[in-house]
Amino acid sequence: MKPGGKDGKLYKIHEEAEISGGSSVALEKSGFYRIKRVGEHTELPQPSNEDLAKGARAMGPGDVVHLWAGQTLAEGDEVIPLRLVLISFVKDVSNSKQGTSYDVSTQENLDSGVREYITGAFSESSGTINGTVETDSEAQRELLNQFSSVAVEDGEHYAIFPAKETKQDYMLSRRETETVGQTAVWEHFPVTVESLNMDKPLDGEQNFNFNYKVDGGNHPGMIYYTVRDLSANGQQGGSQGSDPSDPSGDPEGGD
Which pLDDT belongs to residue 34?
A: 97
State the SS3 of 76-141: CCEEEEEEEEECCCEEEECCEEEEEEEECCCHHHHHCCCCCEEEEEEEEEEEEEEEECCCCCHHHH
pLDDT tens-place values along the chain, 255 residues long: 677 666 678 899 999 999 999 988 999 999 999 999 999 999 999 999 999 999 999 999 999 999 999 999 999 999 999 999 988 888 888 877 666 666 778 877 777 778 777 765 556 778 888 888 888 888 888 888 888 899 999 899 999 999 988 888 999 998 988 899 999 999 998 998 888 888 888 887 888 888 888 888 889 999 999 999 887 554 544 443 333 334 344 455 444
Q: Where are the domains of the chain?
A: 5-233
Nearest to 196 by CA among 150, 138, 137, 130: 130
Per the CB < 8 A criterion, the answer to whether 27 and 70 are in contact is yes
Which pLDDT belongs to residue 76?
A: 95
Which pLDDT belongs to residue 205?
A: 83
User: What single-letter DSSP state applies at residue 249?
Assistant: S
Which pLDDT belongs to residue 239?
A: 42
Residues 236 and 30: their CA atoms lie apart, in Å, by 7
Q: Residue 76: CB partners within 8 Å, gap ≥ 6?
A: 21, 37, 38, 39, 40, 41, 42
User: What single-letter DSSP state applies at residue 172?
Assistant: E
Which pLDDT belongs to residue 139?
A: 85
Helix (H) or strand (E) holding 12: strand 9-15
Query: CA distances (Å), 181 to each of 1, 83, 225, 227, 228, in order?
Result: 12, 24, 10, 5, 6
Q: What torsion, rounded to 10 degrees, do the Cα atoms 229, 231, 237, 241 define?
A: 150
Which pLDDT belongs to residue 235?
A: 52
Beta bridge partners of 124: 98
